[in-house]
Amino acid sequence: MKHLTKKTGYFVEYVALVIMILAVWMMLEKQGTLNPVILPAPDKVFETFVSLLAKQTLIQHMSVSLARVLKGYILASVAGIILGIVIGLFEHARRFTDLLIQIIKPIPPIAWIPLVILWFGIGETGKVFLIFLGGFFTILINVYDGIRQADVKLLEVSKVAETPFFTHVFKVIIPGAAPNIFTGLRVGLSSCWMCVVAAELVSSNTGLGFMIMNARQFGQTDTVIVGMITIGVIGKVMDSIIRAVEKKVIYW
């Protein structure tokens, strides 16, 4: 029983801030001080959400965006993890690539949009490439930091035992870097979502980013907010999934 109340307490703590913000929002609406174009009432937003669901437009936009994110994210993860391990393992590879990585990393993916349109046109490839760019560097840097920060004391155990290189990499280096790899995967996912919206704002007629931009032109602030919250919720759900996987994988 005591355990249960504690858990309930934690849950209340967890959701309190969001509920408080919703409450303030509702109060403002009751006072009649809200201009619905600037900030529509919460119940209006909810209504819009339900009607967008009913018309299936929300699901359509959502699945298009989700598919784009997954494509770009998986490419970024695979490339980031493999290259991160190689760069982390070999000092020469790090020196060879460091300058380029450090220069490209601070360029926001949005700044790539003009080039991407020129190179790939306004089709899917360009969008996936932007999402890939968004996730790739974050994942790459976390992975190679994890590899390079390996515990020297544990590395000596391999040295003394003259462990073959690949056994050492797969059984010691990579498990040791696993927490950083997961951090990279989680932060990288957020970056990917940021990029999909940016890409869809520019050139698209589907996706949540398009939905938001399109609604803005018609003054449908409620739809804008529905789009924003949808992105936030999907991001949160995906992050929770990665966390759950991490807990299973990193059992020690």
Partner 1 sequence: MAYIELKNVNKYFDNNGEEFQVLKNIDFDINKGEFICFVGASGCGKSTLLRSIAGLEVKYEGTITVDGKEIKKPEKQRGMVFQEPRLFPWMNVSQNIGYVLDTKDKEEKKRKVSEFINMVGLRGFETALPKELSGGMAQRAGIARALANEPEVLLMDEPFGALDALTKIQLQQTVRRIHNESHQTTIMVTHDIEEAVYLADKIVIFTNRPGSIRKIINVNLPEDRDRNSLEFVNVRKKVFDAITISA
Instruction: For residue 65, give the nearest of 150, 148, 142, 128 by alpha carbon.
Output: 128
- Return the structure tokens found at 203: 């050139």
Give the number of other CB atoms < 10 A from CB of residue 174: 19
Give whole-number Cα distances, 8 to 4, 13, 90, 132, 237, in Å: 6, 9, 49, 40, 21
Can you tell me which of 75, 172, 187, 228 binds partner 1, judged by CB under 8 A? 172
Binding pattern to partner 1, positions 175-204, x when CB under 8 A? x--x--------------------------
Q: Could you say whether residue 156 binds partner 1 (CB under 8 A)?
A: yes
Q: Is 203 left (phi over 0), alpha (psi -120 to 50) or beta?
A: beta
Q: What is d(CA 190, CA 69) in angstroms, rounded to the nearest whole number?
A: 10
User: Minimum distance between the CB of residue 179 and partner 1, rounded to whole angstroms?
Assistant: 11
Can you tell me which of 38, 56, 162, 218 binds partner 1, judged by CB under 8 A? 162
**Which of these segments, 52-60, 116-124, 128-136, 172-180, binds partner 1 (CB under 8 A)?**
172-180
Q: In sequence order, what DSSP letters do the residues of 181-233 get, joined into one string? A: HHHHHHHHHHHHHHHHHHHHHHS-SSSHHHHHHHHHHTT-HHHHHHHHHHHHH
Q: Could you say whether residue 32 binds partner 1 (CB under 8 A)?
A: no
Number of residues that bind partner 1 (CB under 8 A): 18
Contact 63, 120 (CB under 8 A): no
Our CB check for partner 1 shows the closer of 177 and 211 to be 177
User: Minimum distance between the CB of residue 81 and partner 1, rounded to whole angstroms?
Assistant: 18
Q: Could you say whether residue 160 binds partner 1 (CB under 8 A)?
A: yes
What is the chain's length? 252
User: Minimum distance between the CB of residue 151 and partner 1, rounded to whole angstroms?
Assistant: 9
Q: Could you say whether residue 159 binds partner 1 (CB under 8 A)?
A: yes
Q: Could you say whether residue 153 binds partner 1 (CB under 8 A)?
A: yes
Can you tell me which of 5, 14, 106, 164 binds partner 1, judged by CB under 8 A? 164
Q: How far is CA 21 from the centre of its chain?
A: 24
Can you tell me which of 78, 154, 241, 244 binds partner 1, judged by CB under 8 A? 154
Q: Could you say whether residue 246 binds partner 1 (CB under 8 A)?
A: no
Residues binding partner 1 (CB under 8 A): 153-154, 156-157, 159-164, 167, 171-172, 175, 178, 250-252
